[in-house]
Amino acid sequence: MKRVAVIGVGLTKFGELWETSFSQLFVEAGAMAINDAGIDGKDVEAIYVGNMSGGRFVDQEHISCLIADHAGLTPIPATRVEAACASGGLAIRQGVMSILSGFHDIVVVGGVEKMTDVVTEKTTQTLATASDSEWEAFMGMTFPGLYALIARRHMHEYGTTREQLAMVAVKNHENAIHNPYAQFHSKITVEDVLRSPLVADPLRLLDCSPITDGAACVVLASEEKAREFVDNPVYITGSGQASSTIALHDRKKITVTDATVNAAKEAYARAKREPRDIQVAEVHDAFTIGEILAIEGLGFVEIGKGGKATEEGETAIGGRIPVNTSGGLKAKGHPVGATGVAQVVEIVLQLRGEAGKRQVDADVGLTHNVGGSGGTAVVHILEK
């Protein structure tokens, strides 16, 4: 696969941003990315926006036009991309493909979600639309419930412990302390997780990612064009996308996310890399069991060994494969449409050596973004 360069990145603060509107979030992240790239608005040839559900969260459809308008980038073509919680990762992929096709040389890719303007019950209902509405959501199933089923089965099949799940949250909160954009900057302990309110057995409140507002943005360029603007581009050398059944009951095995496995295979093949080559990763930990499924499906550890690897510190900063140095969805926050783009921002900062106190030594990184309970997965490989 040819290389597409990331030449600029931008990120808003993640959290409950009551004073900031939906469009302001995207404009802020976009302006940061354009300034970081050293380009002008007139250099941008297309916009791709990851957004799961602006219609339900802020009563706004026609997101693509709104963004182009409020960013002052009309008449540039703008396209909204939706794949539930994988909307941001898929928007990145669409931007990559538009450059690889030769159709564009410079594009802006962003993701945005404003989730706190509605009551929690509506947020839960909106997120549930990423499951099978007829067979899961209509029956009262929520995403904590779906991932609780996965967690309980994983514990049964592989001996994963309740404490090992908690260790994922503890690690990611520790990492987020050093991320100024993260929603949470507080240390937690395993005991804190185990004593937090029960949401869906065995998952507790501190196993679950929060409701979050935020936006993230990157500027992508062809390899030739990138040289005109920056000296330190990070290249997307591999990209993979795969689908699975939307409902858990149709899957052969709910403890293995086959969309992750298949998307990773494509990304590794295109980048001519293997799991052992990855030195830092941002993975989809909407729930603590999600990170364990991710590191197994991506090939970092054997299936069933994710809990033990976490317990032994393999995924911590300083470990064999640092995972979610940003704090992950769990502690950085999870504005669903923005998450996949924010993951790319973190890996770019790591590969550029600009991650501050959470910096790791890495030349090759990976992002992993999941839609729903695993119906969609998008994996990107990035290199210096």
Residues annotated as catalytic (active site), given as ranges: 85, 334
Closest CA to 292 of 375, 207, 231: 207
Distance CA 271, CA 202 (A): 38
Longest CA–CA separation in the chain, Å = 56
Distance spanning both ends of the chain, measured CA to CA: 15
Element (H, E) at 273: none
DSSP tag of 156 = H
Q: If you ran DSSP here, which 8-state letter would residue 346 be given?
A: H
Helical residues (DSSP H) of 131-257, grouped into ranges: 143-158, 162-176, 190-195, 223-226
Q: What are phi and psi of 50, to 5 degrees?
A: -85, 125
The answer to whether the Cα torsion of 134, 135, 139, 145 is positive or negative is negative
Phi, psi of 367 (to 5 degrees): -120, 150
